[in-house]
Structure 1
């Protein structure tokens, strides 16, 4: 297993048949690649207790969440993970969210429109959208 610093977390929500991405402000976090050959990851996010109601409602749905995680440094392109909330723990000043999920690999050669849509869903636009799209294209070529 390999452990990395979690520096960004966004959660996709479907409200009135419209997908929106909510950025979660992290106090701290880590993400673990289980290296099981199945792309399973374990994510722990330490956030403000202000998010308690939001995450409790998501946990009660008991369905997969589409999340976007940024690993190691903010300038990295977020990775998409389909995850479930495993536990919510209220601490003295914060809240710990434990998620487990599977990393979704991007197939750019087959669907650049999907990549563009995913990046836009993450809230990217303008120059940041173009930069993230170029970075993903170059990763796929290399």
Structure 2
């Protein structure tokens, strides 16, 4: 298993007829790659107690949730995760949420490979390739929050 710092977490919420990601202000968090061959990850997020009312029904009803988890650095493209709340621990001022999930289709590595393949097929190379690759990554990072998982 490999453990990484969780630096950003967003949860998909239904607002009217649309689904939108809401950023959860983390007090701290970890994300663990189980390295089990099934692409399963454990997320522990430390949140303000106000989020207890959001997560308790999800735990009790075993509802699958869709998340965007940013790992290690805020500049990284968030990973799309489908998971379930496994436990909630109430602390003095915070709650600790444990989520078991899988990285969804279009994980950052697969997405980067797809972008690079497309740019190479256009015949781009050198500095032009690098510039277009970075531009496309940043464009997709912005768009991932505006679309449903």
Band the TM-score falls in, shorter-chain normalisation: 0.7 to 0.9
TM-score, normalised to structure 2, is 0.71
Find the counterpart in structure 2 of residue 25 from structure 1. Answer: 25
Find the counterpart in structure 1 of residue 58 from structure 2. Answer: 58
Find the counterpart in structure 1 of residue 82 from structure 2. Answer: 82
Find the counterpart in structure 1 of residue 45 from structure 2. Answer: 45
TM-score, normalised to structure 1, is 0.75
Rg larger for: 2
User: Is the 1:83–1:102 contact (alpha carbons within 8 Å) kept by the matching residues of 2?
Assistant: yes
Q: Which runs of 5+ in 1 are unaligned?
A: 110-127, 136-142
Secondary structure of residue in 2 paired with 1:26: coil
Shift of 1:131: 1.6
User: Is the 2:33–2:42 contact (alpha carbons within 8 Å) kept by the matching residues of 1?
Assistant: yes
User: Is the 2:41–2:102 contact (alpha carbons within 8 Å) kept by the matching residues of 1?
Assistant: yes
Find the counterpart in structure 2 of residue 2 from structure 1. Answer: 2
Paired residue total: 119
Shift of 1:7: 0.4
Change (3 A) 1:50 1:36: same
TM-align CA RMSD: 2.6
User: Is the 1:77–1:132 contact (alpha carbons within 8 Å) kept by the matching residues of 2?
Assistant: no
Q: Which runs of 5+ in 2 are unaligned?
A: 115-134, 143-149
